Amino acid sequence: MALSRRLAIIAGGLGGLGSATGKILRSQGAWLALLYAPFEANRTKELLRKGYGKDFAPEEIRTYECDITSPSSVQSAFARYPQIWPRGMRPRQRRRSRAFSRRWKHLNTKLLGPMLCSQAFARLYLAVAKAAAPTAAPPGRIVSVSSQAAHVALWKHGAYCTSKAGLMGLTRNMASEWGPKGITANTVSPTVAWTELG
């Protein structure tokens, strides 16, 4: 079979699309490591049976509780799969947690920050526009600073690229939801400028 001796690790592997995908991979011979969320812990057996039936050996499908938003939970789930790490090799915890906080800072500042500011602005604008009626309020404008990193891959800048691409998704949504209410939303994507950050 095409996937015999291959391991598929599926986050959300007990969910709808996860188990549908897992079933196909299984039918091609892959063994499965299914990560499920802590809040699914008391339904694991039921979901496993629903998604995969009963016709498999225990080593062919293993399940692991894993909160994919927690670095330590992800690390421990990956470390627990039998024999997946060569002897004596384990991820280095301290370096990884520092790297995580750097990534988290990018996502917080460059994605969550614009989201919070834009929402606060929209609430304010809509309240002011309502109070000004029947006189039409001037249009509201949201201009967020994205980056070339939203469009191309920047080496070793995964979290930064993610935050800027996410900002563009957010902007499309804001434009579509708030456009009819008088607020436009756009991004600009500068290249490198020699600021503190640059």
Ligand X SMILES: NC(=O)c1ccc[n+]([C@@H]2O[C@H](COP(=O)([O-])OP(=O)(O)OC[C@H]3O[C@@H](n4cnc5c(N)ncnc54)[C@H](OP(=O)(O)O)[C@@H]3O)[C@@H](O)[C@H]2O)c1
Residue 193 is a binding residue for ligand X (CB under 6 A): yes
Residue 135 as a binder of ligand X (CB under 6 A): the answer is no
**DSSP H helices in the chain:** 16-27, 44-52, 71-80, 93-107, 113-132, 158-178
CA-based torsion, 75, 77, 80, 85: positive or negative: negative
CA-to-CA distance for 182 and 179, rounded, in angstroms?
5
Q: According to the binding rule CB under 6 A, does residue 26 interact with ligand X?
A: no
Q: Interface residues for ligand X in 5-24 (CB under 6 A)?
A: none
Peptide bond into 138 cis (omega under 30): no
C-beta of 151: minimal distance to ligand X in Å? 11
Judged by CB, which is closer to ligand X: 55, or 196? Answer: 196
Minimum distance of ligand X from residue 114's CB (angstroms)? 8
Q: Nearest distance from residue 81's CB to ligand X, in Å?
A: 37
Selected from 75, 147, 171, 187, the binder of ligand X by CB under 6 A is 147
How far is the C-alpha of 136 from the C-alpha of 133, rounded, in Å?
6
Which is nearer to ligand X, 63 or 187 (by Cβ)?
187
* Region binding ligand X by CB under 6 A among candidate stretches 27-35, 95-103, 119-127, 187-195: 187-195
Q: Is 110 in the site for ligand X (CB under 6 A)?
A: yes
Q: Are 190 and 147 in contact (CB under 8 A)?
A: yes
Cβ atoms of 67 and 38 within 8 Å: the answer is yes
Q: Which of 27, 101, 109, 176 binds ligand X (CB under 6 A)?
A: 109
Among the listed residues 58, 67, 85, 62, the one whose alpha carbon sits nearest the alpha carbon of residue 8: 62
Residues engaged in binding ligand X (CB under 6 A): 109-110, 113, 145, 147, 190, 192-193, 195-198
